[in-house]
Amino acid sequence: MPPRLVNINSLFFLLIALTFSAVSVAASAAEHYTIDPEHTFVSFEYSHWGLSMQRNRFDRSAGYIALDQPSGPGEIMIEIDAASVNTGTELFNKILRASDFFDAEKYPKIRFTSSHLFFDGDNLKQVEGELTIKDVTRTVSLEVTSFNCRFMVLYGKRACGANGFVKILRSDYHLGRFVPFVSDEVTLHIVVEAIKDY
């Protein structure tokens, strides 16, 4: 019998199908966690006229964490409600929500979306991503100081938590009023916990 000829087009489409199948399996391996707003907060620290380091925070945030710990890849997205800024005084809150600073009515969300997660074994050490404030997006590198995942009896599900920080210049995001008397450099501290979806 003459050898069977291979249909090149059929082989090409088979390879494409196998590739997408492999990608789909890899994507499905990631565990998805929804951020727990009761245990997730972002605070910011800055020098006030060289007298003291002030720390304020945002009270409301949302987002998710997707992790594939055996192989390392994943994604983190945190969305912060700019109007939830909390300084401890309503007068100062109104100042920071106004157009000179966060302009929360026009730009209601502050967002961080990761692009790369860097692990040392099972420990998450660094997260690179895009930080968007007032429609200005810049690449930042978040240093992770602690990272843990475990089954939580309280929830009946697995949960993950982390602490991290990143230093930014507020003038990069059109927040530079009173520089240099109030420091341009601000440290964002992120405390996050997330609960597995299923």
pLDDT value of residue 191? 96
Tokens of 102: 């966060």
| pLDDT tens digits, one per residue of 14-69 | 444 444 444 443 444 689 999 999 999 999 999 999 999 999 999 999 999 999 86
With bands split at pLDDT 50, 70 and 90, how would you rate the model's confidence at 163? very high
Residue with tokens 């997707």: 66
pLDDT digits (tens, 9 = 90+) for 55-79: 999 999 999 999 986 656 789 999 9
Q: What is the mean pLDDT of the chain?
A: 87
Domain boundaries, the chain: 31-196
CATH number of the structural domain 31-196: 2.40.128.110
Predicted local confidence at residue 13, as pLDDT: 44
Q: Calculate mean pLDDT across residues 129-135.
A: 98
Q: Report DSSP letters for 70-139, one per residue.
A: TT--EEEEEEEEGGGEE-SSHHHHHHHHSTTTT-TTT--EEEEEEEEEEEETTEEEEEEEEEEETTEEEE
